[in-house]
Structure 1
Amino acid sequence: MAAMAAPTSGARHELPGTLVEVVGNRLRDAILSGVLAPGEKIREEQVCADYGISRAPLREALRLLAQQGLVEHLPRRGSRVAEWSASDILQLYGLRAVLERHAIETALPLADPKRALAPVRRAFDRMRAATDQLARDDAHRMFHAAVVGLAGNRQLDIALEPILLKLQVPMAMNMREEARRSTTRDGIARHRAILRALEANDADTVLAALDSHGHLDFNGALTQPTHD
């Protein structure tokens, strides 16, 4: 397990809840950036030494990361970064597509497109302006959440959240590979097409844009198209 940067010096003296958040965010960033690979065991002693913390906030952070699908607890063996089979990932992408389709069919045509699409535009602008992998990952997740949010259906938003959280790792792997291949702009173009379709305020146009923004998975885990 690679050494990870410790929290800022002030973080150690903050309230326990804040410390848990700091540790959880650092571990999440390490997982999404590839510093911690899928299936890699999280060595508590090393993390505690790297971060200058006790086991209590670390274990609470690991519990929260497990709820997000980023970490798996192994009976009597600690924790490891979650692994997802090709089937798992395809099923999650499929579920996201179903929720997005339902949201678009429910929401469009929009009564006030300019106002309703503001969160989607903000997420797209953040994706376009992102200068690092983690910022791009967050903006990408926000974009798809904002698309589903157009329906104004709280239960739909709640159903989507765990799917997006569990897809963080495969999506991050794909986006890292896009960056390595210098095709990041292609991903921006795909999401710009979705935004433009939404601005046209026609459900069929948006659904076609969502269907066509899939691409072959780069990380080798899958053998058929997915949506990023």
Structure 2
Amino acid sequence: MGPDTGELETPSLVDLAVARLRADILSGGIEPGERLIEEQLTRRFGISRAPLREALRLLGQQGLVDHFPRRGARVATLTDADLRELYGVRDVLERYAVEQSFPIDDPRRLVALGAQLEAMRAADRVGDRFAMAEAHRNFHVALVGLANNRQLAWVHESVLVKTQLYMAINLRREADDGHGADNVARHQRLYDTITGVEADADVVLAELSTHGARQYI
């Protein structure tokens, strides 16, 4: 907010547009390949073209929007090959994080992991696809966060955002088919393994290998 007028400053308008568009894309509300028409979006958000274009630029950096000269912007698409590569990188990063995290010497380090599992369960109860996708992503962010490695966390999250673009379609299908609870159950099993009294890196890696992270391909 401005100090005197109460008007939104330009950076706030950019943040608003990024948040709204990101939510639409990652919830499946806007599908991969769909054109993002500036005139429609400026009317919808009540903003000018300058903050909207900056928001689209930032979403492009996140891998969620593709820009084409003289053809505007579209929601990014991923090929099957892209997905296989992304999930392969994700597997490597998460396994490395587990290897670096155990033994867990302070139970407080597991609080974020448990909170995201509860968020997934709450989203499933109300059928909120976007909240489910965000909690799913944040669960894995928290898993990698156990390694306390900022560079690892940054690379991992950039991969997760791109895969969530594809996962949104499948999470919608899961919700329509009543399979959201299966997603929660898989993460509950992984959480129980991580927090178990006999948990060590080998035990968690064994569970992670059967976790089903690639089921969205």
Partner of 2:29: 35
Are 1:100 and 2:112 an aligned pair?
A: no
Look up the match of 2:191: 195
Q: Is the 8 A contact 2:25 2:75 kept in 1?
A: yes
Contact 1:107/1:150 (8 A) holds in 2: yes
Distance between the aligned counterparts of 1:216 and 1:92, measured in 2?
A: 10
Q: Secondary structure at the match of 2:178?
A: coil
TM-score (norm 2): 0.90
- Offset, 1:217: 4.2
Tell me the distance in 1 between the aligned counterparts of 2:62 and 2:185. 29
Counterpart secondary structure, 1:117: helix
1:145 matched to 2:138? The reply is no
Relative to its length, the structure with more helix (as a share) is 2
Residue equivalent to 2:161: 165
The answer (yes or no) to whether the contact 1:48–1:58 under 8 Å persists in 2 is yes
Partner of 1:127: 120
Q: Distance in 2 between matches of 1:13 and 1:167?
A: 36
Q: Is the 8 A contact 2:87 2:214 kept in 1?
A: no
- 1:48 and 2:42 correspond: yes
TM-score normalised according to structure 1 size = 0.86
Tell me which residue corresponds to 1:91. 85
- Look up the equivalent residue of 1:158 and give its one-letter code: W
CA RMSD of aligned residues (A): 1.6
Unaligned runs of 5+ in 1: 1-11, 223-228
Q: Distance in 1 between matches of 2:175 and 2:214?
A: 15
- Aligned equivalent of 1:4: none
Q: Report if the CA contact (8 A) 1:73-1:79 is conserved.
A: yes
Separation in structure 1 between the aligned mates of residue 203 and residue 191 of structure 2, nearest angstrom: 11
**Structure 1 residue 18 corresponds to structure 2 residue 12:** yes
Match of 2:63 among 69, 72, 90: 69
- 1:182 equivalent in alignment to 2:171: no
CA displacement at 1:216 relative to structure 2? 6.6
Q: Which has the higher contact order (CA 8 A, sep 6+)?
A: 2
- Residue 113 of structure 2 aligns to which amino acid in structure 1? V
Give the equivalent residue in structure 2 for 1:118: 111
Counterpart in the other structure of 2:206: 208
Question: For this pair of structures, how many residues does the alignment match?
Answer: 207
In structure 2, distance between residues paired with 1:92 and 1:187: 20
Is 2:51 the counterpart of 1:57? yes
Q: Percent identity?
A: 48
Deviates more, 1:178-187 or 1:131-140: 131-140
